[in-house]
């Protein structure tokens, strides 16, 4: 009999614990030619906002050590164009697609969630790493603010909801608890960590912004620590571990820490078909457990 990698995440059953992380596989529709989506249990589309966001100018991606710093600025066409351009193609993809909502106010998040729901996505991930309009603090750093966004999205859609948190939160457990109390079905741990890189000759940032989001292998201990802390405090909470996965042993580590599913992100830039390799490795490790 074959090894079964089926897993559950709150109300959702996934055929595989591997998830394509938001922003690293484009709109999914445009990546379908290069990426084989069959090894994934779900693929998360790039975050969408209520109005179009132009993103930041180049340079937007800089390798730093074995990780990567990005300042993409969540460039996206806005929910109205997204539902027209991307939505109709989702049903043809060989993977369940989750939408990802981002915004500057809870109302914006709610508008996006309603739009995503109309396209037939199977779940909505709430990207809480962007700044709120009032004081520029990322939602994910403040339990109350994060809960307010999740509650607004919960009222706008009946779809399963994941709240994506930041490793930069002073108390990630408090943010996790607030999101679950407000109606999130699972937590995604984590988005990128805030970082910076300068040109030593000029002292100027090597990105078009002073800071960016750090991802890849150096992020893994931070995200894994968040999974461990949240799982210890809230053992019933369904968790997705994301950060620095390059092989099946990283996936196993997240599963051992308490995650039910695991995201692949930056690895897609070096190896677009990494999920096929990791899925194969995982089957081997799983059967030898
Ligand atoms: C270029 C780039 C763009 C990203 N865009 C988004 C995004 O739009 N929404 C989001 O929730 N996360 C976004 N992320 C974060 C990833 O989904 C993931 O959480 C993070 O990169 C950590 O995983 P990794 O180390 O495997 O890359 C982006 C990451 C990168 C590298």
Identify the pLDDT of residue 131: 81
Tokens of 15: 């055929």
Give the residue, out of 60, 213, 246, 264, with the most ligand 1 atoms within 8 A of its beta carbon, to mutate for a pocket test: 213
Residue 222 CB–ligand 1 contact under 6 Å: no
* Residue 62 scores a pLDDT above 80: yes
Q: Is the domain 7-287 a CATH 3.20.20.70 member?
A: yes
The rounded Å distance from CA 211 to ligand 1 centre is: 15
pLDDT in the model for residue 289: 65
Looking at ligand 1, which residue's alpha carbon is closest to its atom 4? 23
Q: Is the CB of 138 under 6 A from ligand 1?
A: no
Atom of ligand 1 nearest to the CA of 219: 25
Quote the pLDDT of residue 158: 98
Atom from ligand 1 closest to the CA of residue 21? 17
The pLDDT of 252-256, averaged and rounded, is 97
* CB distance 243 to ligand 1 below 6 Å: yes
Q: 134 falls in which pLDDT band (50, 70, 90)?
A: confident
- Residue 72: what pLDDT? 86
Q: Which atom of ligand 1 is nearest to the CA of 23?
A: 5
Which string of DSSP letters, residue by residue, matches 12-50? EEESSSEEEPTTSSTTSTTTTTT---TT-SEEEPPPB-S
20 Cα: distance to centroid of ligand 1 (angstroms): 10
Q: Which atom of ligand 1 is nearest to the CA of 67?
A: 25
Q: How far is the CA of 67 from the centre of ligand 1 (A)?
A: 12
Share of the chain above pLDDT 90, in %: 88
Across the range 184-189, mean pLDDT stands at 98
- Pick the closest to residue 217 from 263, 266, 280 (CA basis): 266
Residue 1 pLDDT greater than 60, yes or no:
no
Domains of the chain: which residue ranges? 7-287
How does pLDDT run across 71-82, given as a tens digit for each residue? Answer: 988 899 999 999
User: Longest C-alpha distance within the chain, in Å?
Assistant: 61
What percentage of the chain exceeds 70 in pLDDT?
A: 99
- Sheet with 61-64: strands ordered across: 61-64, 67-70, 212-215, 193-195
Catalytic residue ranges:
130
User: Cα(109) to centroid of ligand 1, in Å?
Assistant: 18
Is any atom of ligand 1 closer than 6 Å to the C-beta of 47? Answer: yes
Interval between CA 99 and ligand 1 midpoint (Å): 14
* Of 55-64, 70-79, 271-280, highest mean pLDDT: 271-280
Instruction: Give the span between the Cα atoms of 117 and 83, in whole angstroms.
Output: 9
CA distances, 4 to each of 159, 207, 239 (Å) = 26, 43, 19
**Helix extents (H) in the chain:** 79-85, 106-119, 143-156, 172-181, 220-233, 248-257, 267-270, 274-287
Ligand 1 binding pocket includes 130 (Cβ within 6 Å)? no
Average pLDDT over residues 160-185: 98
């Amino acid at each position: 009999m074959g090894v079964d990698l089926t897993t559950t995440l709150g109300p959702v059953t996934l055929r595989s614990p591997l998830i394509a992380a938001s922003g690293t596989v484009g709109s999914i529709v445009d990546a379908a030619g290069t990426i084989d989506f069959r090894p994934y249990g779900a693929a998360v589309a790039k975050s969408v906002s209520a109005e179009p966001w132009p993103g930041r100018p180049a340079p937007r991606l800089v390798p730093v050590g074995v990780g990567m710093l990005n300042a993409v600025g969540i460039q996206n066409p806005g929910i109205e164009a997204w539902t027209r351009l991307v939505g109709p193609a989702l049903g043809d993809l060989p993977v369940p697609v989750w939408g990802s909502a981002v915004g500057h106010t809870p109302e914006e998040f709610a508008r996006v969630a309603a739009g995503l729901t109309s396209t037939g996505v199977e779940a909505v991930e709430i990207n809480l790493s962007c700044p709120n309009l009032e004081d520029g603090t990322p939602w994910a750093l403040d339990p109350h603010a994060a809960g307010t966004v999740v509650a607004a999205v919960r009222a706008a859609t009946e779809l399963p909801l994941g709240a994506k948190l930041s490793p930069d939160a002073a108390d990630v457990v408090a943010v996790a608890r607030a999101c679950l109390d407000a109606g999130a079905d699972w937590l995604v741990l984590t988005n990128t960590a805030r970082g910076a890189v300068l040109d030593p000759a000029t002292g100027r940032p090597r990105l078009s912004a002073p800071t960016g989001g750090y991802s890849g292998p150096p992020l893994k201990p931070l995200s894994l620590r968040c999974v461990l802390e949240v799982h210890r405090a809230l053992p019933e909470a369904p968790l997705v571990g994301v950060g620095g996965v390059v092989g099946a042993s990283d996936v196993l580590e997240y599963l051992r820490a308490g995650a039910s599913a695991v995201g692949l992100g930056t690895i897609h830039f070096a190896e677009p078909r990494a999920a096929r390799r990791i899925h194969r490795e995982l089957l081997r490790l799983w059967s030898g457990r």
